[in-house]
Amino acid sequence: MPAPAHRPVVRDVVFVEGVRTPFGKARPDGLYAATRADDLAVKTVRELLRRRPELPAERIDEVAIAATTQSGDQGLTLGRSVAVLAGLPKSVPGFAIDRMCAGAMTAVTTTASAIGFGQQDVTLAGGVEHMGHHPMGFDADPNPRFVSEKLVDSTALVMGATAENLHDRFPHLTKERADAYGVASQAKYAAAVAAGQISPDLVPIAVRSDAGWGLATADELARPGTSMADIANLKTPFRPGGRITAGNASPLTDGASMCLLAAGDVVDELGLPARMRLVSFAYAGVDPEIMGYGPIPSTERALANAGLTIDDIGLFEINEAFAVQVLTFLDHFGLSDDDSRVNRYGGAIAVGHPLASSGVRLMTQLARQFEENPDVRYGLTTMCVGLGMGGTVVWENPHHADYSGHTTTHASTTTEN
């Protein structure tokens, strides 16, 4: 009997394509009030296959889909159930994953690890969060020992309270700076929409309301034209006289995202585009009561894993759960509040943060910015995570002259919907 053919143990992992739904308000009158969460994820899978007809569906080795609340229309092993609902061959397996806000990011790094280790060739990874159907913490039952045995501070289980704690820890990061950051996020997002930099990555979604059927083609949450005066006196729901408001925090959001990953040699074989190459990733834990600090140690680890420094990073996509969390990151690494490399399209304060799906939004936006900026070699996506964690992924730009990946297909993937 001949010896089995072995795949190489270490391979390039390429981000081929990413899409997301328009993000909607998590309210009874929001875009997706009458839409199932799993159907949002199904639409993103179908759109990826539509955009990449050169990929035979049977070549997909895994579907990993994250959700923070895995019940109801976000339950039933999402990866597998969405694969079946999307019409993938029954031979394609799938699983669900939860790392709270970094769910989709973890779906990417988990399946990318399998690709890099040579056990899989092509995967779909993403996340969905219907916060209108499943409010944050819905049906959760935190063990009372967390607080009674002082394993965490009593504020650790309320994300807005952890953001207030960051303001306490770093008093020079004032409410005024956080408000200014929030206003800037709205302005950058509005400019990106006007420039046509957001819509190419959106999947139109048929939606139903009391008025009948419609088509969601744009994000619902942004507040263009927001000024400092507009948000100066908003309520501080997490603390009387606090600093966290709706003007400097991400809104409650419904939405889904999905991406296609493949080994570098498979990208060449099938003629797929290489939009980014995964260089390194890391997750780290911090005190849960300062949850927003997590991206700092995770970024330090990811950079060390890659043999890079913060100065090597030309583009940053940082999830804006709260403005103070981003400011803490910028302050630690010596970056200015308005650094032009950071969140060029705006961020979650403007577009929304459907928890487990946001990681792939960050990646998809970074991929598009790589195409626009071939002079930038490295970028990163990073986010804070509930219960005191951070996650960071470092990416390389295939359009850069010194690109070190082994793939040869560097075609642009701008797609008309």
Token digits of residue 155 = 């504020």
pLDDT digits (tens, 9 = 90+) for 14-54: 999 999 999 999 999 999 999 999 999 999 999 999 999 99
Nearest in space to 219 (alpha carbons), one of 182, 181, 256: 256
Within a domain: 230:
yes
Question: What is the predicted pLDDT for the residue at 285?
Answer: 98
Residue 402 falls inside a structural domain: no
Residue 408 lies inside a defined structural domain of this protein: no
Which pTM does this prediction carry? 0.94
Q: Which of 64, 65, 105 has the alpha carbon at shortest distance from 282?
A: 105
Residue 409 lies in a domain: no
Phi and psi of 226, rounded to 5°?
-60, 135
- In a domain, residue 42? The reply is yes
* Residue 144, domain member (yes or no): no
Low-confidence ranges of the chain (pLDDT < 70): 1-9, 406-417
User: Do the domain assignments include residue 377?
Assistant: yes
Q: Are strands 62-66 and 13-20 parallel, antiparallel or unpaired?
A: unpaired
Residue 102: half-sphere exposure toward Cβ, Cα within 13 Å = 28
Q: Residue 277, Cβ neighbours under 10 Å: how many?
A: 22
Owner of token pair 């019409």: 87
Q: Which residues contact 307 (CB under 8 A, 6 or more apart)?
A: none
Domain span at residue 94 reads: 13-133+151-395
Candidates 320, 294, 270, 309; CA nearest to 388 is 294
Task: Output the domain CATH number for residue 352.
Answer: 3.40.47.10
Q: How many domains does the chain have?
A: 1
Nearest Cα residue to 216 out of 343, 40, 53: 40
- Catalytically active residues are 101, 353, 384
- Other CB atoms within 10 Å distance of the CB of residue 160: 19
- Distance CA(364)–CA(28), nearest Å, equals 29
| Largest Cα span, the chain | 77
- Count of beta carbons in the 10 Å neighbourhood of residue 310: 14
Instruction: Tell me how far CA of residue 219 lies from CA of 20, 25, 65, in angstroms.
Output: 10, 9, 21
pLDDT digits (tens, 9 = 90+) for 88-142: 999 999 999 999 999 999 999 999 999 999 999 999 999 999 999 999 887 888 8
**269 part of a folded domain:** yes
Cα gap 284→205, rounded to integer Å: 36
